[in-house]
Each structure stands twice: as structure tokens, then as C-alpha cells.
Amino acid sequence: MRLIKRFSLLAAAAAFTASTAAVAAPTFINILTGGTSGVYYPIGVGLSQIYSNGIEGSKTSVQATKASVENLNLLQAGRGELALALGDSVADAWNGVEDAGFKAPLKKLLAIGSTYPNYIQIVASKESGIKTLADLKGKRISVGAPKSGTELNARAIFKAAGLSYEDMGKVEFLPYAESVELIKNRQLDATLQSSGLGMAAIRDLAATMPISFVAIPQDVVGKIDNAAYQAAVIPARTYDGQEEDVPTVAIQNILVTHEGVSDDVAYKMTKLMFDNLDRLATSHSAAKDIKLEAATQNLPIPLHPGAERFYKEAGVLK
């Protein structure tokens, strides 16, 4: 009898320990971003801090990556819970466009919402003499990591302008900060960067040496065969020495998750972001362009049910 009682007590203790462990199991939120000198990374850090404080039992982390394409493939593989990615890359991922870096359709992806626009920013050293897209012929340029969102943007824009990589003197496939360092060292003439306005790498370059911004005229934008690309302007004085507005292209960024993330966590991630936009803007000024009323517009993939619940409560969706 005493032995049976002891086994009963041990079983009860084991059950209590298991249930306690289940209740206390942490919620992991790994946020996939981009290079540390871009905009995705500081915004990812800002979201991480908001979620760490606002989601009980959460363990948040921020991972620097090669941005859009890598982020989406990692999400599909369940190696992250949240990521920022360019809208055209998200559409290519959903449709499995192999030339864009997706070997098969990534159908586990779901949207949290549309965020802020990326602006295509083509910057050249003033001494290179580059002022127009045509001036890039024969010059040395960096276009982002191979098959990154930035590099896909470069391909689309050059094609619309009647240019190709073969027209350039040299093409490097490097991230933001490395591209800027090579321009400083006179080893590159220009770089095409797809990012939010006021990005750190271009600010650094503008503070170091005289630079020129290359305009992307509206007639070129109209020839890009992708509705995600919209005519836009880099406002004057966004960077040191930039005294005039620069016509360019903008592409919306999307916050993406996957179907393995619970409805409750997706709901909290969405709500906490919009409840803390002022705080998020202190991470990077690009976050000031995140608007609740635009968050569900023109998404190339379905909304996560948890995010959809928030937007219905907020009156954005019926």
C-alpha cells in the first residue's frame, strides 16, 4: 500500500512538473532583418524590444541576413517567426519564381501587414561624373547581394532603362556598408541601394565625400513590368549635400510570418506594432511611414488569421 502511494505521489509530481513546464514554455520570436547598416535591422531591433516587453514569456532575437529573398526562404523553412521583405520579392516567393531565388512556391508564408516603402537610391561619387542612368555605362557599380531584393530591383530598373550588367565596367554584388567603403576608397563609382530614406550607409557616405544622386525618371518607371514599382521622390535634404528632390522608384515593404506561428502570437505582434508606432520610429525614421489604414492594401499573399483579427477589431477590415 505504501509503495502504491509513493508511486501515486511520484506520478502526481511528474504530471505537475510537466504541466508547469508546458505553461512556462517560452514563445520564441526570431526576427529576420537585413544588413546592420540598412533599415530592416534597426526596425527589427525596435520590434524585438516591443515584443519582449509586450508578449509575456517571449524570447525575442534579431538576425542580420541578406534581407528579402533569404528572409522568405528562412520563414518557409520555419527558421524565423517574422521578417521584413520587399513586396515584389514576396510576390515572387509566393509564385515560386526561380530566377528571383525561389526554387518552389513558398505557400507557408502569410502577411502581418504592409509597412513603409523602400526607395531605390542610386548614389555615385561626384568625381565619377555620373549624373544619369546612361552615365552608368562603363562605370563600376554595386547592386546588392546576388538575388537579394535590392539586386532584383537593380535588374528591373536597368532593363526598363535599356541597360544591362554587360553595359557596366564592373558589377559588384555587395551589401550596403561594403559598397560605400569601396566608393570611399575609389574602388567603385556608384551603388544602387533599396532601403528606407535616411539609411545609415548613405548618410555616412554623404558626410565623407561629395556625392550625386541618379534620378530614375517617370518614363523609366512606367516601363517596369511590375505593379509593385511606383514613382516616388527622395525629398531634398534627406542627405547632406542633396539640395534637390530626386525622382525615383518606391516598393512597399511587407512584414511576413508563416502558418506555423499561432493566431494569438500573430495577433499580438500586429497589435503591439501599431500600438507602439511612435516608439518604433525612434529605432528608424522610416517607421514613421507605417500607416494602419494602408496595412492591408495590395498584399501579394494572404493575411495571417491572427493579423486579420486585429485589423477587423481596428476597423480596417470588415
For residue 230, is it within any domain? Answer: yes
pLDDT at 16 over 60: no
Tell me, yes or no, whether 106 and 202 share the same domain: no
For residue 20, is it within any domain? Answer: no
Q: What is the pLDDT of residue 37?
A: 85
* Parallel/antiparallel/unpaired status of strands 190-195 and 109-125: antiparallel
Q: How far is CA 95 from the centre of its chain?
A: 19
Tell me, yes or no, whether 309 and 273 share the same domain: yes
List the beta bridge partners of residue 124: 190, 212
Domain end marker among 223, 251, 279: 251
Domain end marker among 201, 221, 251: 251
Tell me, yes or no, whether 286 and 232 share the same domain: no
For residue 100, is it within any domain? Answer: yes
For 23-36, the pLDDT digits (tens) are: 557 999 999 999 89
What is the domain range of residue 281?
Answer: 27-116+253-313
Mean pLDDT confidence for 47-56: 97
Handedness of CA 239, 242, 247, 248 (dihedral sign): negative
Tell me, yes or no, whether 122 and 247 share the same domain: yes
- What is the tally of structural domains in the chain? 2
Tell me, yes or no, whether 221 and 303 share the same domain: no
For 116-173, the pLDDT digits (tens) are: 999 999 999 999 999 999 999 999 999 998 888 899 999 999 999 999 999 999 999 9
Handedness of CA 13, 15, 18, 20 (dihedral sign): negative
Q: What is the pTM for the complete model shown?
A: 0.85
Q: Which CATH number do you get for residue 41?
A: 3.40.190.10
pLDDT at 5 over 50: no
For residue 12, is it within any domain? Answer: no
Tell me, yes or no, whether 205 and 231 share the same domain: yes
- 116 neighbors 285 (Cβ within 8 angstroms): no
For residue 11, is it within any domain? Answer: no
Any idea which residue has 537610391 for its cell?
A: 121
Any idea which residue has 506555423 for its cell?
A: 260
Tell me, yes or no, whether 96 and 202 share the same domain: no
Q: What is the pLDDT of residue 18?
A: 46
How confident is residue 20, by pLDDT bands cut at 50, 70 and 90? Answer: very low
Cell numbers placing 75? 520563414
Tell me, yes or no, whether 160 and 220 share the same domain: yes
Mean pLDDT confidence for 289-298: 96
For residue 10, is it within any domain? Answer: no
